[in-house]
Amino acid sequence: MKTQTLRSPSENASIAGEKPMPKYIRRSLFPLSIDDPELGGKAQASWADAIVLDFAKKPGCDWQEDLKARMPAAIHAAAKGGAEVFIRINRNAAAAELDAAVFSGISGVVLKGVTAPADIVATAGRLDALEAGRGIEPGSLEIDVEVDTAGAVWHSLEIARASRRFGFFLVNEPALCRSLGMQSAPALEFDPLEYIKSQLIAVATSVGGQAAGMSYPLGLRPEDAGGDAVKAAVRRARDTGFKGALCPGASWIAACNEGFRPTAEEADYYVKVIEVFAEGLKRGMASVPIDGKMIDVPVDVRAKLYLKWANRAQARDDEKARAHE
Amino acid sequence: MAETVNPRRSWMIVPAHDPAAVMRYPEREPDVVVLDLEYSVPPRSKETARAGLGALINKIGDSQADAFVRVDRDTRWADVRAAMRRGIRGIVFPGPDAPEEVVELDRLIAAMEKERGVEPGRTELALMLESAKGFWNAASIAQASPRVTALGVGRIDLTMMLGPVPQDEFRLYRFLMTRTLVAARMLGKQPLGALWRPGSRGGVATKDATARAAREASLMGFTGCVCATPEQVAPVNEGFAST
């Protein structure tokens, strides 16, 4: 008789290899305007994982009708390089802006100015209707939150839990500093947003989402950054727990794509860890040494997760490369 | 965008049982004179301090500084009754744990305003978070009464309760300050606090250490702090000047 191994759902979910790590590969989120005549070219040349589309309401005309007429083509253009496309929406006018801007082809919306979970609930409700009315798969559109207010920080857990659509926190450091009355020039020896960033990473992860942000001081003075400074800052941000960053300029994108993932050396090391630990298990050992370090179950699990992350990042790069062919 | 809700930079603590010490305050030019009924008053002098509040508030009320009274958490009811006089600008309530305590104090103040002829609703509340419970309830506590205009970190009590032993970088305190700042800014209250380093707070802080603590707090988004000694007022005013 065949013996079945019975597992509870939580046991199944805890199997390391089945955990998404991370859920999304969005290392670089690049804002572009739909009014930019070179939108398609810039999006394709950027190699960003995601394009965040901004729009201006044209005066002297019905801005909603104008946007509805232009948005589908803009979404198509932004996706040319294989990027996911998001629309940035103002919380204050969310319903009207969603009606005018949400069309097939986007992955979701980035909501800015959020102060309370009710903002997410209202947006989710509007997306339900728009998905139904515009031929978009029900429940597929994501809500990402640009964290730029004190209220968004304070209510972050309730905000992240407010809808199954929640995907990302994107830290907008200059705007958040203004909301908190902080000096937005990086004049302190430490990152005044350190604890806020930690909170957002932990909260987003707790609901299966992620957080995008940059390390201090680059998040507050992007204009001064050189290539090496961006690379170093991305590494610090990755090591803090961020999975990507909102890129103020195209110059950040390559560093973000390369930095917000395990390095090739790290991936090689994880492969070695997994192989050596598996061999040790066969020999009845609970832990094995590699290069003077002890490898046990948690280290093995982490290696599998991070290797999966590296593979998924590589797959995303391959996907974008195909879009460029 | 956040705005400076309140320009009160220096909240100078003076022992209410010592009128001579109190009345030297103009030499220091604090924005707020906090007549203390808490730590700086010996237990045996509490009644004397309460009895003398009226005269002191009258004198301070005629000056540029605002007169607040810091009550003792354990005797706050009697302290508020003694403090409520024409000319008082507000009460500093140290160590609130729950919104209900603020609501209760709000009602007592309202009753005393009516009884003593103080303009209804004029008396403010400045809350100093001094317990882990109060710290965690910061937003609900600060929203418990429209009188609450300032929210601060009661560093010594709060960190004493949490029990860190900082040697150099006091990272826990930065967390406490950050979270208090977020609550205060979210609710439009004045954030009070200074980035005191280990070994340099309150009565033992040098002028330079005080100026640095105030300046760094200002960069973090705070707009004022409590001064435990008169000597701290000038560097605090200077440190928060940019706000």
Mean pLDDT, all residues of chain B:
91
Task: Give CA–CA dist A238/A215, Å, rounded.
Answer: 9
Q: Taking the alpha carbons of A267, A241, A31, A134 in that order, is the dihedral positive or negative? A: positive
Count: domains in chain A: 2
pLDDT of residue B202: 59
Which residues make beta-bridge pairs with A189?
none
Residue A19 has pLDDT above 70, yes or no: no
What is the secondary structure of A147-212 as a DSSP string?
Answer: E-SHHHHHTHHHHHHS-TTEEEEEE-HHHHHHHHT--SS--SSS-TTHHHHHHHHHHHHHTT-EEE
Out of A225-234, B93-102, B185-194, which region has the weakest mean confidence (pLDDT)?
A225-234
B4 to chain A: which residues are within 8 Å by CB?
181
Q: What confidence score (pLDDT) does residue B201 get?
A: 59
Looking at residue A220, its pLDDT comes to 83
Neighbours of A64 (CB within 10 A): 14
The H-or-E segment that residue A146 falls in is: strand A142-147
In B, which residues are within 8 Å of A114 by CB distance? none
Whether A222 and A316 share a structural domain: no
The reply to whether A196 and A299 lie within a common domain is no
The structural domains of chain B, with segments of one domain joined by +, span 10-192, 193-243
Percent of chain B with pLDDT over 90: 79
pLDDT (0 to 100) of residue A95: 94
How far does the CA of residue B214 sit from the closest CA of chain A (Å)? 12
Express each pLDDT in A105-154 by its tens digit.
999 999 999 999 999 999 999 999 999 999 999 999 999 999 999 999 99
Place of tokens 């809500």: A143
Cα distance between residue A273 and residue B158, in whole Å: 45
* Residue of chain B minimizing CA distance to A174: B1
Computed on alpha carbons and rounded to an integer, the radius of gyration of chain B in Å comes to 17
- Selected residue of A182, A194, A220 to mutate for chain B interface (largest B Cβ count, 10 A): A182
Which of the residue ranges A202-206, A316-320, B2-6 would you say has the lowest mean pLDDT? Answer: B2-6
Residues A216 and A292 in one domain: no
Select from A244, A260, A276 the last residue of a domain: A260
Cβ within 8 Å, pair B182-A153: yes
- Rounded to the nearest 10 degrees, how much is the dihedral formed by the CA atoms of B126, B130, B133, B134? 0
CA distance A5 to A9: 13
For position A179, what pLDDT does the model report?
96
HSE-CB at B137 with a 13 A cutoff on CA atoms is: 19
pLDDT tens digits, one per residue of B49-61: 999 999 999 999 8
Q: A175 and A39 share a domain?
A: yes
CB A166 within 8 A of CB A200: no
The nearest CA of chain B is from the CA of A203 a distance in Å of 15
- Whether residue B221 and residue A154 make contact (CB cut-off 8 A), yes or no, is no
- Does the residue A11 lie in any domain? no
Q: Which residue, A232, A260, A288, sits at the end of a domain?
A: A260
Task: Tell me A5's DSSP state.
Answer: P
**Domain of A202: which CATH number?**
3.20.20.60
In contact, B161 and B131? CB cutoff 8 Å: yes
Percent of chain B with pLDDT over 70: 92
The pair phi, psi for residue B179, each rounded to 5°, is -65, -40
Nearest CA in chain B to A148: B1
- Phi-psi map region of B195: left, alpha, beta (phi>0 left; psi -120 to 50 alpha): beta
Q: Which residues contact A113 (CB under 8 A, 6 or more apart)?
A: A90, A91, A92, A119, A146, A148, A149
* Confidence at residue B167, expressed as pLDDT on a 0 to 100 scale: 65
Residue-level pLDDT at B5 = 42
DSSP A113: S
The predicted model scores a pTM of 0.90
Contacts of A174 in chain B (CB under 8 A): none
Which residues in chain B have their CB less than 8 angstroms from residue A220's CB?
Answer: none
Whether residue A7 is contained in a domain is answered as: no
Any domain includes A2:
no
Residues A244 and A284 in one domain: no
Query: Do residues A269 and A252 both lie within one domain?
Result: no
Tell me: do A307 and A183 sit in the same domain. Answer: no
pLDDT digits (tens, 9 = 90+) for A262-271: 999 999 999 9
Amino acid at A111: L
Q: Supply A298's token pair.
A: 């948690």
Per-residue pLDDT averaged across B215-237, rounded? Answer: 95
Of residues A181, A225, A195, the one with CA closest to residue B185: A181
Span A204-220, average pLDDT: 92
What is the ipTM for the molecules in this complex? 0.88
| Pair (A218, A278) in one structural domain | no
Instruction: Say whether the peptide bond before residue A138 is cis (omega within 30 degrees of 0).
Output: no
Helix (H, G, I), strand (E, B) or coil at B224: strand
Q: Please tell me whether residues A87 and A187 are part of one structural domain.
A: yes
Alpha helices in chain A (DSSP H): 9-13, 39-46, 63-78, 94-101, 117-133, 150-154, 156-161, 173-180, 194-206, 227-240, 253-259, 264-282, 297-324
Domain membership of residue A279 as a residue range: 265-324
The partner residues of A30 in beta bridges, in order of sequence, read A51
Contacts of B194 in chain A (CB under 8 A): none
A10 is a domain residue: no
Using the predicted structure, report yes or no on whether residue B125 has a pLDDT greater than 70: yes
Q: Looking at the structure, do residues A152 and A192 belong to the same domain, yes or no?
A: yes
Q: Decide which of A211 and A1 is more confident.
A: A211
Residue where a domain terminates, one of A236, A260, A284: A260
Is there a contact between A89 and A98 (Cβ–Cβ < 8 Å)? yes
- Are A63 and A85 contained in the same domain? yes
Question: Is the previous residue joined to A217 through a cis bond, with omega within 30 degrees of 0?
Answer: yes
Q: Does B172 touch chain A (CB under 8 A)?
A: no
For chain B, the first-to-last Cα distance in angstroms comes to: 14
Superfamily of domain B10-192: Phosphoenolpyruvate-binding domains (3.20.20.60)
- B182–A150 C-beta distance less than 8 A: yes
| Amino acid code (one letter) for B36 | D
Chain B segment 4-63 residues within 8 A of A by beta carbon are: 4
Q: Does B139 touch chain A (CB under 8 A)?
A: yes
Q: pLDDT (tens digit, 9 = 90+) per residue, B64-122?
A: 899 999 999 999 999 999 999 999 999 999 999 999 999 999 999 999 999 999 999 99
Q: Do both A317 and A248 map to the same domain?
A: no
